[in-house]
Amino acid sequence: MCESVETALPDVRVPKPDKPEGFSRSWQELFPRPAPIVCDLGAGNGRFAAAYAELHPEWNVLAVERKWSRVRKIERAAEIRRLPNLRTLWFPWDDLLLFWSRASSCREIHVLFPDPWPKRRHRIRRTLTARVLAALYRALEPGGCFRLLTDDSDYYGAVERMVAALPGFDRTEHPVEFPWSHFETIFRSKGDPLYGAIWQKGNRETKEKRRGSP
């Protein structure tokens, strides 16, 4: 991991939150079998997470949500749709990344319509801060991707600037369409403008090879 990302992390909040329920050591242990992990952070009713788990039975999808009623909804969907590769954590996802994540443990992280806190005085409550982004970067595997989608242009711009300050992230395209989340469906049906991007964690080896090539 690059140095600036490392140094952004040790500023740890006190007290450290309890472990998420059902969590012992690694995210992988939440699933019946090991597979690349995809996270849906602030998963809401789980529409995206369930569709993605259905589309990719070869992956493990971890939906993280802090509202219990929504967690139950996602768990019910996993049961009804028989998705053993979809698991839910009832936990604040920023704390999960900051305190209960392992480096290079996750293939994709999706943050879809995080609470925007549009009023200037409330922006401090936004979940995606520089520290959380540094932890998110750390949790991604080399080559792994972070996808953000929001209807709030100011929030998007702020994240874009923070990501640009992390030297290991490159903007990338995804050749395939993702299933829509609940909020995405609502905003798209109204024709509202959406702001989003996918950033890829640089593969240091590939970069070094590229740099060394004639």
Ligand X SMILES: C[S@@+](CC[C@H](N)C(=O)[O-])C[C@H]1O[C@@H](n2cnc3c(N)ncnc32)[C@H](O)[C@@H]1O
* Residues engaged in binding ligand X (CB under 6 A): 42-44, 64-67, 70, 92-94, 112-113, 115, 127, 181-184
CA distance 65 to 159: 21
Instruction: Tell me if 53 sits within 8 A of 78, measured CB to CB.
Output: yes
CA distance 40 to 90: 12
CB nearer to ligand X: pick between 83 and 89? 89
CB nearer to ligand X: pick between 39 and 83? 39
Q: Which residue is nearest to ligand X (CB)?
A: 44
CB nearer to ligand X: pick between 34 and 118? 118
SS3 per-residue string spanning 52-112: HHHHCCCCEEEEEECCHHHHHHHHHHHHHCCCCCEEEEECCHHHHHHHCCCCCCEEEEEEE
Mark whether 154 is an active-site residue.
no
| Among 157, 144, 172, 182, residue whose Cα is nearest residue 1 | 144
- Least separation in angstroms between residue 44's CB and ligand X is 3
- Least separation in angstroms between residue 94's CB and ligand X is 5
Instruction: Tell me if 141 sits within 8 A of 168, measured CB to CB.
Output: no
- Least separation in angstroms between residue 209's CB and ligand X is 37
CB nearer to ligand X: pick between 93 and 155? 93
Strand 169-172, strand 86-90: pairing:
unpaired
DSSP letter at 28 equals: G
Q: Which residues of 180-209 are buried (b: 16+ CB within 10 A; e: fewer)?
A: bbbbbeebeeeeeeebbbbbbbbbeeeeee
- Least separation in angstroms between residue 96's CB and ligand X is 8
CB nearer to ligand X: pick between 61 and 168? 61
- Least separation in angstroms between residue 118's CB and ligand X is 12
Q: Which of 11, 94, 95, 115 is catalytic?
A: 115
As annotated, the active-site residues are 115
